[in-house]
Amino acid sequence: WERLDLPALAALGGSDKNVPVDASAERFQAVRRDIEIVVNPDGGHGSTHPATGRGQAELLNDLLTFIRSATDP
């Protein structure tokens, strides 16, 4: 992380049973870099919804918005 010199996004799941949101957010904030943190309240540990196993539209929308803002000239 010390060499990170580009926009970064941390997409966290509010229902993550492996790594609680607070613990993840604290780690990213401790890095002291410009890391955008978004929390999907229904999201789990991965990119799929914990109950349905389907891709999470909210996560994909967050990623698309981030990529667009990071690459906008």
Please give the pLDDT value at position 67.
92
Q: Categorize the per-residue pLDDT at 66 as very low, low, confident or very high, splitting at 50, 70 and 90.
A: very high
For 9-64, the pLDDT digits (tens) are: 889 988 888 888 998 888 888 886 778 889 988 888 888 776 777 777 888 889 99
Helix (H, G, I), strand (E, B) or coil at 69: helix
Q: What dihedral do alpha carbons 13, 19, 24, 37 form, nearest 10°? A: -10
Cβ contact 28:10 at 8 Å: yes
Return the pLDDT at 7.
Answer: 84
Amino acid identity for residue 57 in this structure = A
